[in-house]
Amino acid sequence: MSCCSKLCHKDIKMHRMGPQRCSVLSFIFLAASVYCKSPTISIIPPNGEVYLGSTKYFMCKVTSGGDAALRWTTADDEDIEDEEGRYTLKKVDESVSGLFVTSLRVEAEKVIKCHGEFDSGEKSEAELKIRVIKRPQFVGDSPMDKEYDAGASAKLPCSATGIPAPKVSWIRDGKTVSLSRGHLYVSADGTLNIDKIQLSDAGTYSCLAYIQERQEAEYKNVSITVNAAPAVQFQNGCQNATSVSNTSLVCQVTGHPRPTVTWKRGTELVEHDGQKYILSVDGRELSILQVDKSDEGEYTCNAINRLGQESNTLLLRVIEPERESLGKGVVAGIVLLILLVLLLAIDLTCYRTKRRGFLMCIATNLLGKQTPGVKMQETENKKGSAHKSHVVNISGIDA
């Protein structure tokens, strides 16, 4: 009889004992039951996924119950033995047994077991599901650089393998390309389709193979170059420039390979001289220094590459700068100042000639009579004359 069985037998008789002895025996029983719990074993790690072409190590370990005889078996309880390219056993000690599992080919999911037989005669087992998996991997050696002429249809295949099969998608500028048919779409077999490819379609595209359950991803980048004849345009067909200023004519050019750009004024070629004309490095901007009326006219931008050429013309008009005019407020101020100065001059003249101000002169002329202040002054003048007439001039000299 095992230790646990004996304790269970004693527990039946505990009710016949006193409370004190019962408490002691209960404590002993609880402690022993922990030690004597059912023997168990486990397999580490519990995940039985093995990558195709690799080897993974599993360990069968006694987790409770003491030492045990451990052995590995198939699902049919047949003992597993060393087998090259498949199994390799490793005995560690009485409580641990190791097994190396190698996956060299794709196989269906299978179960392996670990059996443990303990000294007490009790047995335990653990099982593990072995599953072969494979990371996503692209198939075929498709070129990393593709070149097309504008207007052609482009097809970029992308297929990948993996266990389980990965999902294939295409990404451009951080956005997933739609599966819906259109100018740019991905077909069911993972092929990227571009209908009537344009210069704007050039760039880098990424094919993504993704296994969601393990969050495993593989990328493949493809660079697309689109060849196109030049296209030339100006933002406006007419441009104004102020005389004696600098102006720039900008020609917007697209095309691949990069077009060569030249300028003409009328029928004459415009060349960079650093004094009157300055051309940018790519030739798309023409700067004219110290513009005058003689610079007015048509300027033609011409672009050419191996696929063709195109020209466009811009009309330059030179405008004379307007003279600065005084504002209405300034004119009003000047007129007011002139009136004030004129009134002041008239007032001083009136005072000197008639001993009265300008306003008094106006009042006298309009009313025909003198103001009180003027009358008092004339009265005083008359009194002075009368007084002077009573004086006898003896010497004959005026007093």
pLDDT in tens, 40-84: 999 999 999 999 999 999 999 999 888 899 999 999 999 999 999
Q: Which residue has the tokens 């004359």?
A: 385
Edge-to-edge order in the sheet of strand 54-64: 40-44, 54-64, 96-103, 87-93
pLDDT in tens, 114-168: 999 998 889 999 999 999 999 999 998 888 999 999 999 999 999 999 999 999 9
pLDDT in tens, 117-131: 998 889 999 999 999
Nearest to 59 by CA among 11, 7, 128: 128
Q: Do the domains 234-319 and 139-226 match in fold?
A: yes
Q: For residue 346, what pLDDT band results from cuts at 50, 70 and 90?
A: confident
Q: Which residue has the tokens 């030739």?
A: 283
**Structural domain boundaries in the chain:** 3-35, 43-134, 139-226, 234-319, 340-378
Q: Are 142 and 156 in contact (CB under 8 A)?
A: yes
Residue 4 CA to residue 285 CA, distance in Å, equals 98
Residue 159 is classified by DSSP as: -
In the predicted model, what is the mean pLDDT of residues 78-100?
93
Residue 12 is classified by DSSP as: H
Q: For residue 36, what pLDDT band results from cuts at 50, 70 and 90?
A: low
Q: Which two tokens stand for residue 142?
A: 């498709």
Residue type, 360: M
**pTM of the full predicted structure?**
0.65
Residue 48 CA to residue 60 CA, distance in Å, equals 13
**Beta-bridge partner residues of 171:** 176, 206
At the topology level of CATH, where does 234-319 sit? Immunoglobulin-like (2.60.40)
Q: 95 to each of 32, 62, 250, how far by Cα in Å?
A: 21, 5, 84
CA atoms within 13 A on the CB side of 175: 6
**pLDDT exceeds cutoff 70 at 111:** yes
Q: Are 170 and 177 in contact (CB under 8 A)?
A: yes
Ramachandran region, residue 39 (left: φ > 0; alpha: ψ -120 to 50; beta: rest)? beta
What is the greatest pairwise CA distance in the chain? Answer: 185
Q: 166 to each of 38, 139, 150, 192, 319, how far by Cα in Å?
A: 44, 12, 33, 17, 68
2.60.40.10, 3.30.230.70, 1.10.10.60, 3.30.230.30: CATH of 139-226: 2.60.40.10
| Cis upstream peptide for 321 (omega within 30°) | no
Q: Which two tokens stand for residue 359?
A: 């306003």
pLDDT in tens, 280-307: 999 999 999 999 999 999 999 999 999 9
- Domain 43-134: CATH architecture, name and number where available: Sandwich (2.60)
Residue 312 CA to residue 301 CA, distance in Å, equals 5
CA atoms within 13 A on the CB side of 162: 22
Q: Is 36 helix (H, G, I), strand (E, B) or coil?
A: coil
CB count in 10 Å sphere of residue 241: 19
Q: Which two tokens stand for residue 25?
A: 């025996």
Which DSSP string do the residues of 262-284 spell out, in sequence order? EEEETTEEE---SSSEEE-TTS-
**pLDDT exceeds cutoff 70 at 183:** yes
Q: For residue 6, what pLDDT band results from cuts at 50, 70 and 90?
A: very low
Residue 230 CA to residue 310 CA, distance in Å, equals 6
Q: For residue 360, what pLDDT band results from cuts at 50, 70 and 90?
A: low
Percent of the chain with pLDDT over 70: 78
In the predicted model, what is the mean pLDDT of residues 231-246?
93
Distance, CA of 298 to chain centre: 41
Q: Which residue has the tokens 């000197």?
A: 352
Residue 6 is classified by DSSP as: H
| pLDDT value of position 143 | 85
CA atoms within 13 A on the CB side of 374: 14
CB count in 10 Å sphere of residue 141: 6
